[in-house]
A and B are shown apart, each in its own frame.
Chain A
Amino acid sequence: MSARVLDQLTSEEFAVSVGFLSTASALRRFLARSKEVADIRDALRQGAITEETLRRFVSSLLQEFRPGERFQHELAVAALAVALEQRGTDFAEEFLRDLSRLQRNEMGLCTLLARECLKQRTSLTKDRGKVFVLGHDDQIPFSVGSAVWGVCGTAAGPARGSLLLR
C-alpha cells in the first residue's frame, strides 16, 4: 500500500484529474476532497507509511528538479501539502513552512498552495477554542475522515473545535 499511495501522485491519471486548476486555493480545495490525498491521510494514520517515508519520497522527487525548468512533480508535492495540512506533527509543520518559504519559479504553484494550507491550519487552531491532538484510530470514537471535515466545518460553516492528527 505504501508505495501505491505515493506513486499515484506521480501518475498521469492524477495529473489529468487536476485538470486546469490554476489557483492555489482552488487546487487546495480540489485536492482536499481527492481520493489520492485521502489515501495518504489514511496510510499515515494506519501506519502503512510514515513521515520518514514521505521525506524520502519528496527527496526522490526533488532529484528531478532542474533549475530554470518547471518542476515535473509539483502536483505530487502539492498533494502532500494538503494531506499534511491538518496533521499536528513537527514534520507536517516543517514541510509546510519550508515549502511555503521557497521562492522558485519552477515550483511556484505548490509554494502558493503550502501558504494556503498554512493559512487554513492557522485558522483552524486560532478560531477554535480547543485543539485535540489524536494518536491512533482506536482512540477516536468516530470516523476520523468525516470527523475532521465535520468538526472543522469548512463547507458547513463555523465549528466549535478542531482536530489535529498525529
Chain B
Amino acid sequence: MFEEIKLLGPAERSIVVQTRTGTAIKNVVEPEPGLQQQRHYQLLLEKYGQRWQPRKPATGGYNCAGHVWTSRRTGLFDPKDWRIILKEDGYRQLPQQERPLPGDLVLYVDQGNEEILHVGELLELRPGVAPQSESIPWVLSKFNATSGEVMHYVGDVSFWESQGFLVRIEYWTDRP
C-alpha cells in the first residue's frame, strides 16, 4: 500500500525543540492548508465561531501546542509530550480558588481519558455580563494545524461536546 508515496522517500521536516531540562520534543512543520482545508475552516468558523474574533486566517506550520510552546515555529502533536513540557518547564495547575492571569495557559482536557485536547493562551479577563459577576477569560487559540488563530471566551468551544467529548478546563501558569 501507499507505493506512490513510498517511492518519493521521506520528507518530514522538524526542528530542535527541547524542554527546559533538555528532553527532546517530537515536532513536525506541516505544510500550509490547501484551498479545501481553508474552506473547511471557514465552514467551521460559520458553524461554531460566531462570537469568536479572528486574529489570523487559516495557516499551517504549527498547532495549538506549537503556538504556545514554540512561538509558532512548529507543531507538537503528542499530548503526552505536552504533559512533559508542563512538568519540565515548571508550570503548575492553578487551584480553583486562584485567579488566572493573562499569559497563563488554558487546557481543555478530555475527561474520558485525561488527555489534553487543546491548549490556548489566556489574553485577558473580560468583565462578566452582570454586575458583581466573575470575569470571563478571553483566550487566543489555534485549534488545529490548518486553522487560523481566533480569540474566544474560554467556554465558547461547543464543538467537542457535539463530538461526544466531555471536556474539563484547567488553568496552568509558569508564575510561582
Contacts and interface: CB of A to CB of B under 8 A. Distances in A.
Interface stretch (A17-25, A42-50, A129-137, A145-153): A17-25
What band does the interface of chain B fall in when counting residues whose beta carbon is under 8 Å from A?
A: 35 or more
A30 B31 contact: no
Nearest to B141: A20
A17 B6 CA distance: 30
Nearest to A54: B1
A103 B70 CA distance: 22
Contacts of A15: 36, 40
B133 interface: no
A30 B163 contact: yes
Contacts of A67: 8, 11
A12 B43 contact: yes
Contact of B40 (A12, A21, A95): A12
A104 B8 contact: yes
A160 B115 CA distance: 25
Interface in B104-157: 110, 112-113, 115, 117-118, 143-147
What band does the interface of chain A fall in when counting residues whose beta carbon is under 8 Å from B?
A: 35 or more
A112 interface: yes
Contact of B78 (A19, A23, A99, A107): A23
Interface in B1-32: 1-2, 4-6, 8, 10-13, 28-32
A19 B163 contact: yes
A17 B77 CA distance: 20
B30 A33 contact: no
From A24, A29, A58, A108, residue with most partner B Cβ within 10 Å: A108
B100 interface: no
A109 B145 contact: yes
Contacts of A12: 39-40, 43
A70 interface: yes
Interface of A: 12, 15-17, 19-26, 29-30, 33, 55, 58-59, 62, 65, 67-70, 72, 94-95, 98-99, 102-109, 112, 155
A70 B5 contact: no
A23 B37 CA distance: 17
A33 B5 contact: no
Nearest to B145: A22
Contacts of B12: 103-105, 108
Given A26-B115, A70-B31, A107-B5, A20 B13 contact: no
Contacts of B2: 58, 62, 98-99, 102
A98 B8 contact: no
From A20, A29, A107, residue with most partner B Cβ within 10 Å: A20
A2 to B, nearest CB: 19
Given A12-B39, A72-B36, A112-B77, A65 B112 contact: no
Which 7 A-B residue pairs are closest in the complex by CB-CB distance? A22-B144, A20-B143, A103-B10, A103-B12, A98-B1, A70-B31, A19-B159
Contact of A16 (B8, B43, B77): B43
